[in-house]
Amino acid sequence: MKKILLPNGLNVSEVALGAMMFGSTTSKKESYEVLDTYMDMGGNFIDTSNNYAHWAGTGDESETLLGEWLTERGCRDRVILATKVGFDRHGQGAGLKKEQIEYWIDESLRKLKTDYIDLYYAHTDDTNTPIEETMEAFDRLVKKGKVRTLGSSNFDTWRLAEANMTAENNGWTPYTVMQQRLSYLNPKFAEAPKYAYNEVVNRERLRFLCDKNMPLVSYACLCKGAYEDPARLPNEYEGGTRLEFIRNMAAEKGVNPSALVVAWLTNLHRCKGFPRVIPLFSATPEQLKQNLRGLELLLSDEELALMNEIK
């Protein structure tokens, strides 16, 4: 797996591994197998949160398991580690107030058994807290060496722009990565998202990221396995022509449809108006191997243009 040097200085693999369910619905043994397979295939970009997966446990499971795995494997220096703060976990922790940011970074560091986080996300916007308070608190973590870089997830574009303008005006650390939903299928924009700001990326947001040279980490990019099994299609996406097209094209190329989605996402930056996109997903070891075959596909400019034109 090739590495990408991001504008913020992080050198990450083309695909990020999601650890959301590790230690809860995915057992320790299974989680270790996925992590080991991913690293063996050249991956180094691992994503978790301080609340994963609180709906299936306490919300400490993912970070705790990763901390154990990093220690047992002795590979912390070979991993770009991302975690998050801001979402609720059993009625506590929601928000981006100074005291919340300071408390939860220390909890994350303790569970992950490390003294720094490579990429720390604001997991969702907090409009009840002044942007100045949030950005100053995050900047303080960077200056203390607890965090290397910052990212935003589940933010409106204009709020991200305001936050970064505030950071620039005060000499604070800005957000340099956006994490948001993006997949090949067309979204149903009339459908309200589950949470206020976790909408699927639209073209305006992609043009903004391209203009700002800010990479997009696309979560839920494989639509819960719907490319292989259309019955799994999430309600917020349309199937129809695009799903049929990607399945047929994948069959012609001898890969599973998810692999072709990975190929499309990792090549989008070659098209005008698109930023660098890093797919983020989890899978079984065998599924991971199949999906990562997409990194070996050579999509021509004509194929990319055709894929983008399908309605």
Residues 278-302 pLDDT 10s: 999 999 999 999 999 999 999 999 9
pLDDT band at 110 (very low <50, low <70, confident <90, very high): very high
**pLDDT, position 100:** 98
User: Measuring CA to CA, how many Å separate 279 from each of 26, 93, 164, 241?
Assistant: 20, 27, 24, 22
Range of the domain at 82: 3-223+275-293
pLDDT band at 244 (very low <50, low <70, confident <90, very high): very high
184 annotated active-site: no
- Output the average pLDDT for the chain: 97
Indicate the pTM of the whole model.
0.97
Stretch 216-236: mean pLDDT, rounded? 96
**Over 90: is that where the pLDDT of 102 sits?**
yes
Stretch 142-159: mean pLDDT, rounded? 97
Cα 71 to Cα 49: distance, rounded to the nearest angstrom: 18
Query: Do the domain assignments include residue 231?
Result: no
**pLDDT, position 198:** 84
Q: Which residue has the higher pLDDT, 137 or 192?
A: 137
Query: Do the domain assignments include residue 248?
Result: no
Query: Do the domain assignments include residue 101?
Result: yes
Query: Do the domain assignments include residue 235?
Result: no
Looking at the chain, the whole-number percentage of residues with pLDDT higher than 70 is: 100
Query: Do the domain assignments include residue 146?
Result: yes
Stretch 42-51: mean pLDDT, rounded? 98
Tokens of 238: 């349309």
Q: How many distinct structural domains can be found in the chain?
A: 1
**pLDDT, position 189:** 83
**pLDDT, position 194:** 80
pLDDT band at 94 (very low <50, low <70, confident <90, very high): very high
Query: Do the domain assignments include residue 190?
Result: yes
**CB neighbourhood size of 142 (10 A):** 16
Q: 191: domain CATH number? A: 3.20.20.100
Query: Do the domain assignments include residue 247?
Result: no
**pLDDT, position 193:** 82
**pLDDT, position 192:** 82
Stretch 128-150: mean pLDDT, rounded? 98
Query: Do the domain assignments include residue 199?
Result: yes
**Over 90: is that where the pLDDT of 118 sits?**
yes
pLDDT tens per residue across span 78-91: 999 999 999 999 99
Name the catalytic one among 32, 38, 52, 103.
52
**pLDDT, position 284:** 97
pLDDT tens per residue across span 167-204: 999 999 999 999 999 999 999 988 888 888 888 999 99
